[in-house]
Amino acid sequence: MSMVGHTIARWVTSRSFTHCGCGIEHLQDGSKFERISDFFVSDSQLCNKIVKPRKQTKTTAHYQTQPDHSKMRLVIKNTKQAQAFVRCFATKKNNAPAAVNALQAKGEAIDNKYSKVDTPLKRILLGKHTPEDLKSINFQDPKVLASWLDKAAQEGPRFLAQSDLLPKLSPVTVTVTGAAGQIAYSLLFRIASGEMLGLDQPVNLRLLERPEAMQSLEGVVMELKDGAFPLLNSIVATSDEAEAFKKTDYALLVGAKPRSKGMERADVLKDNAAIFKAQGKALNDNANTDVLALVVGNPANTNAMIASANAPDLNPLQITAMTRLDHDRALAQLSQKLKVPVSSIERVGIWGNHSATQFPDLNHALVDGKWIRGDLDNNWVNNEFIPTVQQRGAAIINARGKSSAASAADAAIKHMRDWVHGNDQWVSMGIVSQGQYGVPLGVWSSFPVICTGAGEYGVVDGLPITEDAAEKIDLSINELLSEKEVVEHLLPNPTFRGVEIEKSKIFNWEFAKTK
């Protein structure tokens, strides 16, 4: 038990970083390394520009779901307490020899149980590694070290959660609206399997539907039960909003009224304003104060604004709109064009509205660490890439007769997982504007962000914006402002004051090529 405790302690110490403001992560033992994703690499004057997420003011208390290394610290604390208990009684053998023997036997049992494991990573985590296990890990190479630590962070807690070394987590409550719909049908089973919140996190599902769709929802509930998911603790299916949001920790607002043939966009906005006004109030009155809510139902950006306006007790940063599907579509198109894996692409972002006016931005994209915008044909970017991403939803409807469902559910899973557990890569989220890049206050716009985990994120700051990009972003922001005007009379709170903020550096790509 002692060896296990000290091994986990060493692993946690190596996983714990501190920030000094220079963009370089420092290990607690004083050494440091630089990850390739910490630097803006290009062939222009932008080379070696450090891009860091803007620090956000913490909202409420830290969210219940903590980063994995917090769990490790809890293990260390409990292990040290147990060791101290053994030492205490070992010095007073006459006091409680039975208790001492029981604890020692438990420690020996744990050591014996995990003395034979099947991978080097597990052996290292348990302190059972051999010299051969360490030969392939060059800890002097910062890339290797960063990769190994990331792998340990992902696989270590999963392995330890199945052991006797980690305490079992209490269930968290997840609310999904529109639960009998297409997107939810692709979403719910993945939440129940642990794909969204973690393979060690039990969940209680609370499912909301319209009264006329409750029979269909009962069929979904039957299938969830038939799946026998170990992490699925309970299911509540209801048409009552207060019941659906009762003590929820995570809310996915999927249900919305779609635009049907002959409907004006203003009518769709007004109909959804009524839906999200009621859901925002229910979220405010019944959910936990640190709830994280994702709006999926379209028009997602404006629906998120409406829900937040009707949830005055919640910080607007706790309610986001989904533009991750647009982000993933942009990655897929660039991957196909360059014939490279999606995993090799970084620093793609979506700006503005989740609509045909959105701006998928490749100006800062990296492929295998190299800036590639200067090598891309402007004709392809402006006349193929951008329109394809903007119109992808309509193209899917034309092809299959229905809107995106599985890919939307996948994007929602990724959005929430990164929001809760963190991701050091750029992703796109529709969030309340605080004036970044001149976007007026109080509208929900998509930005490139970095999620730091535990419900916190920051907009990637200080990016140079080209004149063409600024025009495209402004077009989408103006659409958001026009949507806000349509529903503004339905909002209970005073509207935010728009501000004029000077644009970030205006950058000309032709100038960059000459440098």
Tell me, what's the pLDDT at 158?
58
Could you name the CATH architecture of 172-321? 3-Layer(aba) Sandwich (3.40)
* Residue 214, CA distances (Å) to 88, 210, 271, 282, 485 in order: 60, 7, 21, 19, 34
Inter-axis angle of helices 467-487 and 265-286, nearest 10:
80
Virtual torsion, Cα 345, 512, 428, 324, nearest 10 deg: -50
d(CA 82, CA 105): 13
d(CA 332, CA 378): 18
Tell me, what's the pLDDT at 12?
35
Instruction: Specify the domain boundaries for CATH 3.90.110.10 within the chain.
Output: 324-513
Instruction: Specify the domain boundaries for CATH 3.40.50.720 within the chain.
Output: 172-321
Residue whose entry in the numeric block shows the structure tokens 């090529």: 513
Structure tokens at 415: 């959005």
Which residues on neighbouring strands pair with residue 398, listed in sequence order? none
Question: Which fold is adopted by the domain 324-513?
Answer: L-2-Hydroxyisocaproate Dehydrogenase; Chain A, domain 2 (3.90.110)
Tell me, what's the pLDDT at 152?
66
d(CA 313, CA 284): 6
φ and ψ at residue 382, rounded to 5 degrees: -80, -30
- For each successive 10 residues of the chain (515 residues), what is the average pLDDT? 36 35 35 31 32 37 40 47 44 51 65 61 66 69 69 62 64 98 97 95 97 97 97 98 98 87 73 93 96 96 95 95 98 97 97 96 96 96 97 92 94 98 95 94 96 94 93 96 87 48 39 38
φ and ψ at residue 507, rounded to 5 degrees: -125, 140
26 part of the active site:
no
Catalytically annotated residue among 69, 327, 354, 364: 354
Tell me, what's the pLDDT at 131?
77
* Secondary structure (DSSP) of 270-330: HHHHHHHHHHHHHHHHHS-TT-EEEE-SSSHHHHHHHHHHT-TTS-GGGEEE--HHHHHHH
d(CA 195, CA 430): 22
Tell me, what's the pLDDT at 271?
87
Beta carbons of 325 and 411 less than 8 angstroms apart: yes
